[in-house]
């Protein structure tokens, strides 16, 4: 399926395709790809947690000789707990609804390079949203931070009931080349995930989440066709 340009709104629409059909069991190749995706996500989790675990372990080893190391250990433990919550929500089961306040808190747990700024332009309240929708926003947010290459701005703003716009800007900001394809075709996302490996798994994972949940994702063309294109994510 190819993306189509809708005029006059200048909207590049990305139609969602269901990644699997309950009446059609997975082929052996898809089963192997699913197993590979699970392995890649485990590798990604280990990578994201290894630094914090190492800092905590090192501080505890020094605690007997240096009382100040206990403060470092405590700080590392708090950061580790926050990172675990973020990754559990982004990669784990999504049956539980989350509030916009929860989303604010979880976005604050994303590790930001020193020259990256995060802007959340939506209410910090108890209005609930489906768990899978919030999960997709988190995965796209993590992907957006990585797509800034260490410098720039990420903005997530409310665009209407059940709608958000995610945009990134910076001197080296660029979405992964396959992102729109993954959002269009979850089967392609599943096939590409093993090739992308732990460092590139977020883009195909976003495509799988959107496709399986039937969430609409659209790339918006602005007045000057700025790049990278903002993404409109809608529950409908």
**Domains, the chain, ordered by start:** 4-234 (3.30.565.10)
Q: Can you tell me whether residue 49 is helix, strand or coil? A: helix
Q: What is the pLDDT of residues 19-47, one digit of tens each?
A: 334 444 455 577 888 888 889 999 999 98
Residue 174 has pLDDT above 70, yes or no: yes
> CA angle, corner 206, sides to 204 and 209, nearest 5?
110
Q: Can you tell me whether residue 145 is helix, strand or coil? A: helix
Backbone angles phi, psi at 232, to 5 degrees: -100, 120
H/E stretch holding 231: strand 231-234
Q: Can you tell me whether residue 24 is helix, strand or coil? A: strand
Q: Calculate mean pLDDT across residues 132-137.
A: 96
Residue 226 has pLDDT above 80, yes or no: no
Cα gap 87→96, rounded to integer Å:
15
Cα→Cα distances 171→23, 120, 147, 187, Å = 47, 21, 11, 32
- CA-wise closest residue to 142 among 211, 98, 89: 89
Residue 183 has pLDDT above 80, yes or no: yes
Q: What is the pLDDT of residues 64-121, one digit of tens each?
A: 888 889 899 999 899 999 999 999 999 998 878 999 999 999 999 999 999 999 999 9
pTM: 0.82
């Amino acid at each position: 399926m190819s993306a189509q340009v809708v005029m006059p709104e200048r909207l590049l629409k990305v139609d969602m395709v269901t990644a699997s059909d309950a009446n059609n069991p997975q082929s052996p190749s898809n089963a192997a790809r699913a197993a590979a995706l699970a392995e890649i996500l485990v590798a990604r989790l280990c990578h994201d947690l290894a630094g914090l675990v190492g800092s905590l372990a090192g501080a505890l080893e020094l605690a007997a000789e240096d009382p100040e190391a206990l403060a470092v250990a405590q700080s590392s433990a708090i950061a580790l707990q926050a990172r675990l919550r973020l990754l559990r929500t982004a990669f784990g089961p999504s049956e539980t609804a989350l509030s916009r306040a929860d989303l604010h808190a979880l976005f604050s747990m994303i590790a930001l390079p020193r020259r990256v700024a995060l802007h959340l332009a939506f209410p910090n309240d108890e209005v609930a949203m489906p768990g899978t929708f919030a999960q997709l926003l988190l995965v796209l947010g993590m992907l957006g931070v990585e797509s800034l290459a260490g410098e720039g701005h990420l903005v997530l703003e409310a665009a209407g009931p059940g709608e958000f716009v995610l945009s990134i800007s910076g001197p080296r900001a660029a979405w992964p080349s396959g992102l729109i394809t993954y959002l269009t075709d979850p089967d392609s996302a599943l096939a590409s995930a093993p090739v992308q490996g732990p460092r590139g798994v977020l883009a195909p994972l976003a495509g799988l989440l959107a496709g399986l949940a039937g969430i609409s994702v659209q790339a918006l063309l602005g007045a000057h066709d700025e790049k990278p294109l903002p993404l409109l994510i809608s529950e409908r």
